[in-house]
Structure formats: structure tokens, C-alpha cells
Homo-oligomer: A and B are copies of this chain.
């Protein structure tokens, strides 16, 4: 197997990221590629979730993954070894987020003709990635139980830009003061339309509901 490719992302020069993101979204639509932007705090379980998700989606769609990180290539290697889907690593060189132009630099290294769905695993951070439209059709995020049910109150923008919130590590709920009802309520405050999916990436529990939601989203988007 070839080594996983590592793409060094350069700083963006575009002044108007929103316009650039809209343009990228149109280009991807023309190519029939659905881009999902997956965000979370460090250590919430993005990669494990993604591996589970891919195994559920693989029979229905062709998938490619872009793993964005400050450093390292562990995640891209893990994804490819566990799922067999094409996976590249994006190095942000210390930058805390990806904008549309940086996402485009990554996509230039993906075989888009062979993909229906590209998942961008954004940099682990609840602040900066929320501020930049990547050109994705949908934003999803993972909040894990140990992080606490109050995070929607403290990181309002992240929760307000996400169409789906996965609540991960439900298996350790008994050991933490995490109130799922309260958390749902706080998420609703930020974004009444957000879909909430309690999951356990380690066992795969709950991920089938999210996979169904995403496949339906992709189907609807194709019809538009």
C-alpha cells in the first residue's frame, strides 16, 4: 500500500471566504460530490466515529476522507487501514481551522470522480472552525459526554452552525454528570433545527440513525 499522502495546506489569500465557499459548493454540486464538514473538540472521538460511519455508508456511497490536523498522519492512516477508503492528511501548519480555499487545496488531491461523499475531519477545536464556511453541504459536530452538557452555552457559534450534533461516549454516561435532556435543550437554544444523535462510537450504537439521516440528506441534495 502506498503511504498516506500528506498535503501541506497554505494560508488562504481570498478576502471573501463566504463567496469562495459558495463557489466551491456549486463546483462540487456540478461534480456530484457531497462534502460533509465534521467538527469537534480534541479527543471527542471523530476518527473512531468516522470509521464506524464509513462501514455503514460504504454499501450505498463511494467515500473519500480528508483528515485535517496541525501535525501527524495517524488519523488518515487509521481511517484507510480500518475502512479501505481513500484518505489523505491535511497539515494546517499550526492554523486552527480550514476555510473554503484551504478545503479546495485538499480536494485537489482527492479523486472526485470516484467519490459521492467526501468527509472533511476538521481541526479539533470548538471555536475557530465554526467561523469559516468550508464549502460543505452540511456541518456536523461531535460532543462527547465527558466534555459536559453545558458546551452549547459556552461555544454558541459551533452549535448554531451545525445541522447534526452527535453525542458520543454514551457508554460512560453513568460516570459523568451529563444530563442528556439538558444538553438537547441547550442545543435547541442555539439551533432549533439541529438533529441530535446520541451514539457510542466504540460499540457503534446509535450510528445507524445518523447514517440514515446522512444518506437521506445526500439523496435530497442530489435531487435539488
Listed in ascending order, the chain A residues whose CB lies under 8 Å from chain B are 41-43, 69-72, 74, 94, 96, 123-128, 131, 144-148, 150-151, 153-157, 169, 171-172, 175-176
Contacts and interface: CB of A to CB of B under 8 A. Distances in A.
11 contacts: A41-B42, A42-B154, A69-B154, A71-B156, A74-B150, A96-B128, A124-B155, A125-B127, A127-B128, A144-B146, A172-B175
Work out how many copies of this chain go into the complex.
2
B157 A70 contact: yes
Nearest to A202: B177
Given A125-B126, A125-B127, A146-B172, A154 B71 contact: yes
Contacts of A171: 175
A33 to B, nearest CB: 27
Nearest to A157: B94
Contacts of A94: 127, 131, 157
Contacts of A127: 70, 94, 96, 123-125, 128
Nearest to A156: B71
Contact of A96 (B43, B125, B145, B154): B125
